[in-house]
Structure formats: structure tokens, C-alpha cells
Amino acid sequence: MSEPQFERLALIGIGLIGSSIARVARERNLAREIVVSTRSAETLTRAEELDLGDRYCLDAGEAVEGADLVVLCVPVGANGAVAKWIAPSLSPGAILTDVGSTKKSVVDQVRPHVPNGVHFIPGHPIAGTEQSGPDAGFSTLFDNRWCILTPEQGVDAAATEKLSAFWRGCGSNVDMMDADHHDLVLAIVSHLPHLIAYNIVGTADDLATVTKSEVIKYSASGFRDFTRLAASDPIMWRDVCLNNKDAILEMLSRFSEDLSAMQRAIRWGDGDALFDLFTRTRGIRRSIIEAGQETDAPDFGRAQPKTDD
């Protein structure tokens, strides 16, 4: 586009999501100036080496001065402290948003610190990898992925549309949702799968009869997929569990009931029940592919080892 949507974009946190926003904003001219802030001097230096911004600040309050878009890219448990830190420096009319995968807890933490005249619009780009840090980002991370915004009642409609346009500029599809409903949806599509992955990989590690070398050597595609999820940032996922515990516990309870039903079907040789379940779930997989949210390449698109002809 010829003119940037925002004059100054301040990114508080520069991990996978923050660095990807910086890259796509620079590449697609979404902001005239990008200011990067993180609490780690080492990480900030690396962000500067990667040329992710135009200015770099250890002081988050300094970073947001004059910014018309401020994006909190920190673990969800840290949003309250960061909001309190930057609140005195936020400019009237600025949009304040975040990228956390829980929304009600972010609202509860951040809302008390938002000055009058600042538009607080929580957000969640549903995109990521198991990698972290400023080197992990890439400009196409958000292409054809969903970004959910959870504006509260009474928030300025023009500000919401401006933030929506920014995320569309990043390549995302944008949807609106109530914060509580968002947390319930993400508990089943994201949080529970990660917790199952962490638990399965932890169980394999604990088994005394299976050595770590055997687990690694004989890893089939299913276990490899679980290890990818289980390699995600432990700080981020600790905070997700603590900040969306009600929805996660509800989904864990439902999952435990369904797992018990599967256990009974296996124990009693109920092949029809197993076949019906596997057929139904296979259909879900096909629907995800048809929606453009996954690849239908063999072995999930993994590169295959070369073999001699």
C-alpha cells in the first residue's frame, strides 16, 4: 500500500509473534516507524542485528511514547505489569492490543491500567510454530490464518476497524468474538492439544522400560507431531494454563470422559464404536484441509530423507 496504516508501531516483546509482526509490517509498509522493546538487553541487541525495527528501547514506557499502535507480545501472565508500566506514556487515541491466546485474563489484567482516550482491543493471531525468540519470526506467519479480536462493549468502532485492517494487511482473516467464548474455543482447539502433547511426551520420558534413545530412534509420525507441540515455549504455556484454567479444566474433564469411553470400547472389543469414532474424526481432518488451514501433503509436508536410486 502507498501509505502506512500507522505512523508508529510499538512492539513490546519481540519473540516469534512480535518479530513476525515487525517483519510483515516492514515488508508491507503497515507502519511508518517500528519501535521494539524487550526487557532483555541481549534479545534487544539481537533484534537490532536482525533490523526488526527503527528504534530499540529497554524501557517499555519510552517505546510507546507517540505510538498510535501498541502491541503487547509478552506471555499472558505479564500483560498486567506491562500495561501498568506503559500506561502513563500512552498517547490519547492510540490503539492498545495484545497477541495472547487467552483473552478474559488479559482484559482483567490490562483494563484497570488503560487511560481514558486509549482504545484497548484485545487480539489473538492464531498462528505460530514451536520456535521462539526474534530469529523465529517470518513475514508470512499470518497469511491465511485467523486473528480473533475481542473488543469490549462501547469500544470505538473506527479503532476496531483500523486494527482489523492492520491484521488483514498482515495476511490474516479477522473475526470478532466475546472474550469468554474465545477462551472456551481456544481451550479445545489449542490449549488441550498442547497439554495432551506435553503429557504424552512426559509419559514416554518417564517410562522405565523404554529408554530415551529408543523413543527418539523409533519415533513414528504421531509421536513426532506431539513432540513438536511439546517443544513450545514453557513460559507461555505455563501462563496459558494459569490464565485460562476454568475453560481448560472443563475441556480436560470432557476429554477424560471421552477417553474412558474409548478405553471401554477397546477393552470390550467394540470395533463398531472405534470405527465410527475414527471415521468421524477423519472427516474433521479433511474439513481443516478444505478450509485451507493445513496441508494435505503426505506426512504433513515433512521433507523426506533422500535415498539412492
Task: Please write the tens of the pLDDT for every residue from 259-298.
Answer: 999 999 999 999 998 888 888 888 777 776 676 666 555 4
Average pLDDT, the chain: 87
- Whether pLDDT at 301 is above 50: no
Instruction: Between 201 and 88, name the one with better pLDDT.
Output: 88
Determine how many CB atoms are found less than 10 A away from the CB of residue 302. 12
The residues near 45 (Cβ < 8 Å, ≥ 6 apart) are none
Find where cell 478405553 sits: 263
Cβ pair 205, 143 in contact under 8 A = no
pLDDT band at 299 (very low <50, low <70, confident <90, very high): very low
pLDDT band at 168 (very low <50, low <70, confident <90, very high): very high
User: Above pLDDT 90, what percent of the chain?
Assistant: 59
Residue 180, CB half-sphere, CA atoms under 13 Å: how many?
Answer: 1
Per-residue confidence (pLDDT) for residue 33, from 0 to 100:
97
Across the range 246-265, mean pLDDT stands at: 90
Poorest-confidence range of 44-58, 135-149, 205-219, 243-257?
Answer: 205-219
Across the range 183-205, mean pLDDT stands at: 85
Give every strand in the sheet of 119-120, ordered side by side.
55-57, 31-37, 6-12, 69-72, 95-98, 119-120
- Whether pLDDT at 30 is above 90: yes
C-alpha angle with apex 77: 96 to 30, nearest 5 degrees? 30
Whole-structure pTM value: 0.80
Give every strand in the sheet of 173-176, ordered side by side.
123-125, 146-149, 173-176
The residues near 40 (Cβ < 8 Å, ≥ 6 apart) are none
Cβ pair 171, 24 in contact under 8 A = yes
